[in-house]
Structure 1
């Protein structure tokens, strides 16, 4: 019998393969302003970071002020790119179909982005109304607030939940809230998760066995 009663999934990089798509848009927009970023640099620097951190970072690399409409334009262009290219993380649909306990998603992204990407990848029916966004409470990882909110709403204590994360900020947020956290390392480009997460795994098909 599992020690856990609830699973809290991150979204980007755990449920949907969105990191490269979003970072490609970010790099294109930043470079149009003279930032001279590479996609590899962006993935290593921005993975798991808040949008404000990304915008501040770009602002320091360009010769002019960051345009006031940068964020809404990024949302529009990234949503268009998601609609063309987004895919679920390999194996995650089977995990969700066979998971024998309550689960939810808690993400740094805005709720409309979470819903869009889950809908485009066919995963939205698994989550219904169990979607928790940092934007709703205005607190971002590594603050544990979104995970604490998700656990409380789902009806469980932190020690009864396990968080599935792929970024160091997400792992730290879970640990800061008293959660066990499993680190998904398939795209861990900075090799940050092993030794920080409760345990790490490289293939989503391993999750059911690890939880049970």
Structure 2
């Protein structure tokens, strides 16, 4: 069994509480896009309704999905313009209000002090947005910009989780094998992405409301997470289970 030496952290709602803020900005722009392209919605999207439908996907992935659902099409130029606008809007919201997930910084500090693992960020979101998030909450003391990988901007062809491409790319860039790494993910799409790349994955349901935690634990386990934690304080125990071969 290969020794674990690399930890791959999702960013949104795993390291930082960004999903709600980001989806608020997304909803405003998506409603504008739908109106511009004569898409009839029963009611306008809200951040909450978008989260339910598209959590774990980046904005490009959302737009691809929306075009299929509502049968409209965007030109490549329009798509790129909307992706840029969404990135700017989300970064503005994150810079104003972003905070880290409760308890994560204490774990990152302990991991950094131990010096046993390479700490890496693997996200669906654009790298500019991910790095802005990391810097805003001071987590750039744990992660360097060169080990932040984005499905939206780090790949030759942009994609989004659950496509495993970004995890496969990250491992290649780091010179690591899947069995040397553990991923930490809060969404079904993110968990599927890591698992499809052959990486053992810790699910995290901390950011979900108490009435959804049990449901999301099942979702993440069904997607392939080998263990699931409700709080970052459980992380050392979960990692130890994987390293011992118990999970």
Question: Shorter-normalised TM-score: what interval?
Answer: 0.7 to 0.9
Contact 2:23 2:48 in 1 (8 A): no
Q: 1:57 to 1:110 in 2, by over 3 A?
A: same
TM-score, normalising length from structure 2?
A: 0.76
Compute the displacement of 1:194 (Å): 2.9
Contact 1:24 1:39 in 2 (8 A): yes
Task: Tell me the residue number matched to 1:133.
Answer: 150
The aligned runs of 1:25-64 (5 Å cut-off) are 25-32=25-32, 33-34=34-35, 35=41, 36-59=44-67
Distance 1:193 1:176 in 2: 13
Task: Tell me the residue number matched to 1:70.
Answer: 82
TM-score, normalising length from structure 1?
A: 0.88
Higher relative contact order (CA 8 A, sep 6+): 1
| 64-73 vs 201-210, which moves further | 64-73
Task: Tell me the residue number matched to 1:193.
Answer: 220
CA-to-partner distance for each residue in 1:100-125, whole Å, 9 max, x for gaps? 32221111112111111100010012
Say how many residue pairs are matched.
Answer: 211
| 52-61 vs 37-46, which moves further | 52-61
Point out the structure with max Rg over C-alpha: 2
Runs of at least 5 residues in structure 2 that lack an aligned partner in the other structure: 36-40, 241-247
Runs of at least 5 residues in structure 1 that lack an aligned partner in the other structure: none
The aligned runs of 1:78-93 (5 Å cut-off) are 78-93=90-105
Compute the displacement of 1:59 (Å): 4.7
Task: Tell me the residue number matched to 1:109.
Answer: 125
SS in 2 for 1:104: strand
Compute the displacement of 1:145 (Å): 2.2
Distance 1:91 1:178 in 2: 27
Considering fraction of residues, name the structure with more helix.
Answer: 2
